[in-house]
Amino acid sequence: MKKQKTLVSWSTGKDAAWTCLQLANDPSIEIVGIFCSVNAQYQRTAVHSVRIELLQRQAAVMNLPLDIIEIPYPCSNIEYEAIMDAFVEKAKQREVVNFAYGDLFLADIKNYRVNNLVGTGIEAIFPLWELDTQQLANDMLAGGQRSIVTCVDPRRLSVDYVGKVFDEAFIASLPEEIDPCGENGEFHTFVFDSPLFSEAIEIKTGELNSEGHYTWVDLELVVI
């Protein structure tokens, strides 16, 4: 059976990395790369605000091609959709048939992704969709995936959580109303080790910053 060429939507965080791992173990799927939107002005990933060199390092240790989609700032919806339409056309030329996303249960986001690909010949797939998030968090840790909390929404979670490692102690300390995987936008992560990585990524934390609804830590790549 011919494997389905798949690009994984990459945020640098735990859900994207776990999606990638699940697909890597699926005999019907061939992961041909990852793609990520980057703020063209600041050269950082959207929402997570991760430096582009850390994104590139993740791709390198997975030995996967990386498509960086530069988004101007500010950017209208019309501009954004035109940029993404152009990326879809390039993906079709590579015979890509799936875009994989790490969304868990936010139906409006899922529907947006699905609708944007209608008629393109590329299907949006969601390997983690509606999985129990407590069990998913436990599986990530048991599976050897390691990540650090890069940013939080201080309206929902204390900024004291920024820079903490996503581990059993972190999950146990979360207020009851906070999703264990932060799927409601409470927090975001950066994966620094995974079974897919040839080696762990050495990072250090810098200054805290606030922008919009998020407070985030400036992660830096440690060059050995």
Domain boundaries, the chain: 4-221
Task: Give pLDDT, residue 65.
Answer: 98
Phi and psi angles of residue 113, each rounded to the nearest 5 degrees, phi first: -65, -45
Residues 6+ apart with CB under 8 A from 21: 143, 145, 194, 195, 196
CATH of 4-221, one of 3.30.390.10, 1.10.3720.10, 3.90.550.10, 3.40.50.620: 3.40.50.620
Task: Give pLDDT, residue 48.
Answer: 79
Give the rounded percent of residues in the chain with a pLDDT score beyond 90: 94
Q: For 60-118, how does the pLDDT look when each residue is reduced to its tens digit (9 = 90+)?
A: 999 999 999 999 999 999 999 999 999 999 999 999 999 999 999 999 999 999 999 99
Tokens of 140: 């990530």
Task: Give pLDDT, residue 120.
Answer: 97
Strands of the sheet with 146-152, listed across from one edge: 187-193, 146-152, 214-221, 203-211
Phi and psi angles of residue 217, each rounded to the nearest 5 degrees, phi first: -100, 140
Number of residues written out for the chain: 224
Task: Give pLDDT, residue 46.
Answer: 83
Task: Give pLDDT, residue 224.
Answer: 66
Tokens of 33: 């790369």
Tokens of 39: 């703020």
Q: For 24-34, how does the pLDDT look when each residue is reduced to its tens digit (9 = 90+)?
A: 999 999 999 99
Task: Give pLDDT, residue 188.
Answer: 97
Q: For 146-161, how does the pLDDT look when each residue is reduced to its tens digit (9 = 90+)?
A: 999 999 999 999 999 9
